[in-house]
Copies of this chain bind each other. A is one copy, B any other.
Amino acid sequence: MKKGKWIWYPGDLEIYLANRILFLRDYRGTIEPPFWKIDSPFCNVFFIKEVDLKNPEQIRVLSDAEISIIADCQKGVLACDGDGKYTLPAGKYTITITAYAKNTPVPTVRVDGGVVSDESWYVQLDRYRGESKNVGCSDGFQSPYKTIFKYKDVQPVCQERINGGILYDFGKESFGYIVFHDIAVPGSAQVFYGESREEALATEDCETYDKVVLKARQKQKIDHSRGLRYAYVKGDAEWASVSLSFEYLPLQKKGEFACSSELVNQIYSIAYYTFHLCSRETFLDGLKRDRWYWGGDAYQSFLYNYYTFFDRDICERTLWALRGKDPVTLHINHIMDYTFYWFISLSEYLLYIGNTNFLKNIWPRAITLMDYCLSLRNKEGFLEGRRKEDWVFLDWAPIDNTGVVCAEQLLFVKALRSMAELAVQFSDFERADFYKKEADTLLEKTLSVFYDAEKGVFWHNRVGGVINRVVTRYASVFAVNYKLLDEKECLHTVKSVLEDKDILPIVTPYAKFYEVVSLCEAGKLDEVCKILDDYWGGMIRLGATSFWELYDPAAADHLSMYDRPYGKSLCHAWGSSPLYILGRYFLGVVPLKAGYSYFRVSPKLGSFAYIRGTVPTPTGTIFVYRDSSTIEVENHTRTDGELVLDDGRKIPLGAGKKVKITL
Residues of B within 8 A of A41 (CB): 40
Taking the complex as formed, is A127 at the interface, i.e. its CB lies under 8 A from any CB of chain B?
A: yes
Residues of B within 8 A of A128 (CB): 35, 330, 334, 388-389, 391
Contact present for A43 and B40 (CB under 8 Å): yes
Q: In angstroms, how far is the closest chain B Cβ from the Cβ of A447?
A: 32
Q: Considering the complex, which residues of chain A in the window 109-147 have a beta carbon less than 8 Å from any beta carbon of chain B? A: 125-130
Contact present for A329 and B23 (CB under 8 Å): no
Q: Look across to chain B and name the residue whose beta carbon is closest to the beta carbon of A99.
A: B33
Q: Considering the complex, which residues of chain A in the window 21-55 have a beta carbon less than 8 Å from any beta carbon of chain B? A: 23, 27, 30-44, 46
Contact present for A330 and B44 (CB under 8 Å): no
Q: In angstroms, how far is the closest chain B Cβ from the Cβ of A17?
A: 14
Q: In angstroms, how far is the closest chain B Cβ from the Cβ of A493?
A: 34
Known: A23-B100, A389-B126. A326 touches B326 (CB 8 A): yes
Contact present for A42 and B44 (CB under 8 Å): no
Number of A residues whose C-beta is below 8 Å from B?
A: 43
Residue-by-residue, is A555-599 near B (CB-CB < 8 Å gives 1, otherwise 0)?
Answer: 000000000000000000000000000000000000000000000
Taking the complex as formed, is A461 at the interface, i.e. its CB lies under 8 A from any CB of chain B?
A: no
Q: In angstroms, how far is the closest chain B Cβ from the Cβ of A653?
A: 46
Contact present for A387 and B334 (CB under 8 Å): no
Q: Considering the complex, which residues of chain A in the window 304-332 have a beta carbon less than 8 Å from any beta carbon of chain B? A: 326-327, 329-330
Taking the complex as formed, is A98 at the interface, i.e. its CB lies under 8 A from any CB of chain B?
A: yes
Residues of B within 8 A of A446 (CB): none
Contact present for A68 and B23 (CB under 8 Å): no
Contact present for B39 and A42 (CB under 8 Å): yes
In Å, the complex CA distance between A326 and B368 comes to: 13
Residues of B within 8 A of A27 (CB): 76
Q: Look across to chain B and name the residue whose beta carbon is closest to the beta carbon of A388.
A: B128
Residues of B within 8 A of A327 (CB): 326-327
Q: In angstroms, how far is the closest chain B Cβ from the Cβ of A543?
A: 30
Contact present for B326 and A389 (CB under 8 Å): no
In Å, the complex CA distance between A521 and B161 comes to: 91
Taking the complex as formed, is A552 at the interface, i.e. its CB lies under 8 A from any CB of chain B?
A: no
Residues of B within 8 A of A129 (CB): 329-330, 389
Q: In angstroms, how far is the closest chain B Cβ from the Cβ of A332?
A: 11
Contact present for B35 and A127 (CB under 8 Å): yes
Q: Which of B30, B38, B46, B126 contacts A42 (CB 8 A)?
A: B38
In Å, the complex CA distance between A128 and B76 comes to: 50
Q: Which of B19, B125, B330 contacts A329 (CB 8 A)?
A: B125
Residues of B within 8 A of A130 (CB): 386-389
Q: Which of B32, B126, B329 contacts A36 (CB 8 A)?
A: B126
Taking the complex as formed, is A217 at the interface, i.e. its CB lies under 8 A from any CB of chain B?
A: no
Known: A43-B38, A128-B388. A100 touches B329 (CB 8 A): no
Q: Look across to chain B and name the residue whose beta carbon is closest to the beta carbon of A69.
A: B30
Residues of B within 8 A of A634 (CB): none
Contact present for B326 and A77 (CB under 8 Å): no
Taking the complex as formed, is A219 at the interface, i.e. its CB lies under 8 A from any CB of chain B?
A: no
Taking the complex as formed, is A182 at the interface, i.e. its CB lies under 8 A from any CB of chain B?
A: no
In Å, the complex CA distance between A129 and B35 comes to: 9
Contact present for B32 and A68 (CB under 8 Å): yes
Contact present for A102 and B23 (CB under 8 Å): yes
Residues of B within 8 A of A438 (CB): none
Q: In angstroms, how far is the closest chain B Cβ from the Cβ of A659?
A: 52
In Å, the complex CA distance between A102 and B327 comes to: 23
Q: Which of B37, B68, B77 contacts A125 (CB 8 A)?
A: B37
Residues of B within 8 A of A36 (CB): 125-127
Contact present for B330 and A23 (CB under 8 Å): no
Taking the complex as formed, is A440 at the interface, i.e. its CB lies under 8 A from any CB of chain B?
A: no
Q: Look across to chain B and name the residue whose beta carbon is closest to the beta carbon of A386.
A: B130
In Å, the complex CA distance between A102 and B76 comes to: 37
Q: Look across to chain B and name the residue whose beta carbon is closest to the beta carbon of A96.
A: B35
In Å, the complex CA distance between A34 and B41 comes to: 17
Taking the complex as formed, is A533 at the interface, i.e. its CB lies under 8 A from any CB of chain B?
A: no
Q: A128-B334, A130-B389 are in contact. List 20 more A-B contacts (CB 8 A).
A: A23-B66, A23-B102, A31-B100, A33-B44, A33-B66, A33-B98, A33-B100, A35-B128, A36-B126, A37-B42, A37-B126, A38-B125, A125-B329, A126-B329, A126-B330, A128-B388, A128-B391, A129-B389, A130-B386, A327-B327
6 contacts between A and B (CB under 8 A): A33-B66, A36-B127, A37-B126, A40-B43, A126-B334, A326-B327
Nearest 6 CB-CB pairings of A with B? A35-B127, A40-B40, A37-B125, A38-B44, A126-B330, A128-B389
